[in-house]
Amino acid sequence: MAHVRPHENIFLFIPNLIGYSRIVLAVASLYYMPLHPRTCSILYSVSCLLDALDGYAARRFQQSTKFGAVLDMVTDRCTTSCLLVFLAQAFPRWSIVFQGLISLDLASHYMHMYATLSMGGSGQSHKNVDESRSWILKQYYSNNKVLFTFCCMNEIFFIALYLLSFSSPLLSPTLLGDREVPTSIQPGSPAAPKPSMFFTSPWSAGAMEMARANKMDSTVPWILTLTSAPIMAIKQYINIVQMVKASQWLAEGDREARRQAGLPARPHTE
């Protein structure tokens, strides 16, 4: 009698359960992001660290799945994009830079995964890169320690920059200014109005400025920002290489498909 394998619920695999917890932590960090930088940073950091744990669990329990890989990538892209959206709001002068980073991150990973699946076969993982196509991508994806270091330092840079938006007068001077100095001399207005007169609701747009006025020490965020900046820059370069190589791979496939289809068709001659 043939042995019948039990039905497996992919959605309840241990690495996927860890992935769900990452989403919960990420959503919680976004909730606290505008007004509570310490709480937000802790929740966001734990969510990022679990990214390494789900990969280990997948190998340890032999539960590597395509669903888990996609869940992991989508979670990474969404959480990073949400943080960059906040940074674009916190530093409006540099919003185009953060918008560019979001676009590069999404475009690079989408094109790479699409090229891998369409050109390398449905069973091919986006982390399996042929060295002949790109040496730097091969080194990036083949070594888990290298991959973790780059992703971790990339996130640390943006988290530190987020903390600087609450702690560094150089980067984010508060709109409230010095509360002890009179800020209004118009008739009928108090000489030094209380912040509550401006921002009666904690959900108002100005509430973030009140939170930023309660300054934190910026020493540690500055150290983290400057330390992680070079690796973050290399990570963005890798994203560019990944997008270019994926484009070239897709173009190779298009040329081969057109050749097999006999395109361009020769015009009929009389």
Residues 44/26, Cβ–Cβ less than 8 Å: yes
The total of other beta-carbon atoms located within 10 Å of residue 146's CB is 12
Residues 160/218, Cβ–Cβ less than 8 Å: no
> 51, 54, 76, 105: which one is catalytic?
76
| Separation of CA 220 from chain center | 22
Question: How many angstroms separate the CA atoms of 214 and 197, rounded?
Answer: 17
DSSP code for 131: T
* DSSP-assigned states of every residue in 133-201: T-HHHHHHHH-HHHHHHHHHHHHHHHHHHHHHHHH-TTT---SS--TTS----STTS-SS--HHHH--S
Long-range contacts of 82-90 (CB under 8 A, 24+ apart): 82/26, 82/30, 82/33, 83/33, 83/44, 83/158, 83/159, 83/162, 84/158, 86/33, 86/34, 86/162, 87/158, 87/161, 87/162, 87/165, 90/162, 90/165, 90/172, 90/208
- Both tokens of 37, joined, read 């930088």
Known catalytic residue at 76: yes
154: nearest Cα among 95, 92, 218, 77: 77
Q: Which amino acid is at 121?
A: G
Q: Which residues are catalytic?
A: 76
